[in-house]
């Protein structure tokens, strides 16, 4: 969460940590590898928690949606944890 009056940190590719998190989860629930430069930027700019919060929220929303559809199982949860 950003502090009042502060703009979110934006990386070289023009993305915030939240946007990187959303992109990470776009590919079929498994996610794509993060480039080393992106990972270093997240660490250097103290944005890892924002990235993790975005990923966690997206996974929680996906779990809720699958539960409502009757498709959520322990096995599916384990598959999603292996990113």
Could you report the per-residue pLDDT of 2-51, keeping only the tens digit for each?
Answer: 455 566 677 666 777 777 777 776 655 444 556 656 777 777 778 888 88
For 13, half-sphere exposure in the C-beta direction (CA atoms, 13 angstrom radius) is 13
- Residue 18 pLDDT: 78
Residues 6+ apart with CB under 8 A from 18: 8, 50, 51, 53, 54
Average pLDDT over residues 41-68: 81
The residue written with tokens 């950003």 in the block is: 2
| DSSP tag of 27 | T
Q: Give pTM, 2 decimals.
A: 0.50
Interatomic CA distance for residues 77 and 32, integer angstroms: 18
Q: Are the beta carbons of 24 and 34 closer than 8 angstroms?
A: yes
Judge whether residue 70 has pLDDT over 80.
no
């Amino acid at each position: 969460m950003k502090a009042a009056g502060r703009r979110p940190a934006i990386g070289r590719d023009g993305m915030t940590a939240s946007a990187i998190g959303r992109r990470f989860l776009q590919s079929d629930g498994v996610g794509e590898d993060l480039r080393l430069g992106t990972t270093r930027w997240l660490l250097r700019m103290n944005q890892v928690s924002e990235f993790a919060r975005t990923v966690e929220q997206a996974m929680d929303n996906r779990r809720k949606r699958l539960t409502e559809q009757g498709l959520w199982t322990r096995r599916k949860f384990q598959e999603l944890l292996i990113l």
